[in-house]
Amino acid sequence: MAKSGESIVRIMPAEEIVARGGGQAERLLWPQRASFFAERAMRLRQLSRKDSATAGYLAVMADVAMAQQECLADFPDVPLPDEKTLDHARQLAIAPLGATSWTRHEAWRDCLRSLVEKLRGKVADTITPVLDKLSNLSDDELEQQADLLLSGVSKGLDVACAPFIGAALQVYWVHMITSCDPLREAEIYAAHDLDNEPTCPCCGSYPTASVTRASGSVAGQRYLSCSLCGTQWNMVRIKCSNCMGTENITYMSLDVAGPDQDESDEDAEPARNTKPATLAETCGDCGVYLKIFHTDRDPFVDPVADDLATVTLDVLLADDGKIRHGTNLMLVFSNPEPVSSPQSTQ
């Protein structure tokens, strides 16, 4: 049972959802190389037409995402995890492509410079000085900025350059994952307890958000989406992704929910589609939250794009003393003026 406001709504447990789906849900979902960034770009453009306050930045990030897709298609061969590395990761249940431990190849820097050139003439003139600065940074300076970004250290991080550096690093990690078949074998992650894993089992990065799926064998399942490599891992719903608590979870939204409905009632009219697609799952035990996006309420959600488009929710939750568990490598650090208080919803 999940309590929100004064209403009680039954949520099916994971076991029941799987049984209804007719099979075992996949533990890990991998990024699709042919369309991963292109689909994000489409979503960003769609969102940019809905919110004038963030339209400019979302449009820039749409251009970045399309450039990422182009760079991914042309990414050169780079060293990939060998059998020894993968076996070591399997035995110790650690991330085989650790964001802070993997020795980066210089190709990621070439990717960044290619991104910069692809963006020239497409983005607003206000972005040009940032592109110029990126072009003039030395290899050592770029590596230092990448270290800070991947380790989550803000001191010394150039926040204007960070989204573009993050974009190149995302292309690099997605390339490695989609180029190395053994890396995606289930056996490598067999010892991982995904229901109690706050960071990506593949690269060890924090998630950007979580997504509930609406079709196939993963219908009703919640997946955390990695901010770096795009891998998604299955974690049961109504559970804090930080402290793993389950007793003090509430959901907050900028929107007011529609009529309550028993989600187990398969014959009911789809009133749930009137409920917010974007929620913040907050934990009263540790004070941390992670956004959750429902694809049954909006089938086109993208964790990175929709997270960028709902930054106001982050601001309101921060004002309420909540701490964000997820991270977004393409998120601008800003403080928009609060316009309302988040509404309690389910």
What is the per-residue pLDDT across 72-85, written as a single tens digit (0 to 9) for each? 999 999 999 999 99
Of 13-27, 75-89, 299-313, 324-338, give the lowest mean pLDDT range.
13-27
Mean residue pLDDT across the chain = 85
Rg (CA), the chain: 20
pLDDT digits (tens, 9 = 90+) for 153-191: 989 999 999 999 999 999 999 999 999 999 999 999 999
Instruction: Give yes or no for residue 30 having a pLDDT over 70.
Output: yes
Please name which of 121, 102, 286 lies closest in space to residue 202, comparing C-alpha atoms.
Answer: 102
pLDDT for 217: 66
Instruction: Give yes or no for residue 253 having a pLDDT over 70.
Output: yes
Q: Which of 264-290 are b and which e, b meaning 16 or more Cβ less than 10 Å from the residue's Cβ? A: eeeeeeeebeebbbbbbbbbeebebbb
Of 65-74, 144-153, 256-265, give the lowest mean pLDDT range.
256-265
Please give the model's pTM, rounded to 2 decimal places. 0.85
Amino acid sitting at position 238: I
- List, in order of start, the domains of the chain with CATH numbers: 2-29+194-345 (3.90.1670.10), 36-183 (3.90.1670.10)
Is 304:328 a contact under the CB 8 Å cutoff? yes
pLDDT for 51: 72
**Gap between the Cα atoms of 33 and 174, Å rounded:** 7
**Gap between the Cα atoms of 104 and 99, Å rounded:** 9
pLDDT digits (tens, 9 = 90+) for 105-136: 999 999 999 999 999 988 888 899 999 999 99
Instruction: Give yes or no for residue 264 having a pLDDT over 80.
Output: no
Please name which of 269, 234, 216, 221 lies closest in space to residue 17, comparing C-alpha atoms.
Answer: 221
pLDDT for 124: 85
Residues in the chain: 346
pLDDT digits (tens, 9 = 90+) for 54-71: 899 999 999 999 999 999
Q: Which helix (H) or strand (E) holds 311?
A: helix 311-319
Instruction: Give yes or no for residue 219 having a pLDDT over 70.
Output: yes
Phi and psi at residue 9, to the nearest 5°: -125, 130
Strands (E), the chain: 2-4, 7-9, 28-29, 207-212, 222-226, 232-234, 249-253, 278-283, 288-294, 323-324, 343-345
**Gap between the Cα atoms of 215 and 326, Å rounded:** 25
Maximum mean pLDDT: which of 255-259, 263-267, 307-311? 307-311
pLDDT for 326: 85
**Gap between the Cα atoms of 199 and 318, Å rounded:** 22
Amino acid sitting at position 48: S
Amino acid sitting at position 205: S
The more confidently predicted of residues 8 and 326 is 326
pLDDT for 2: 29
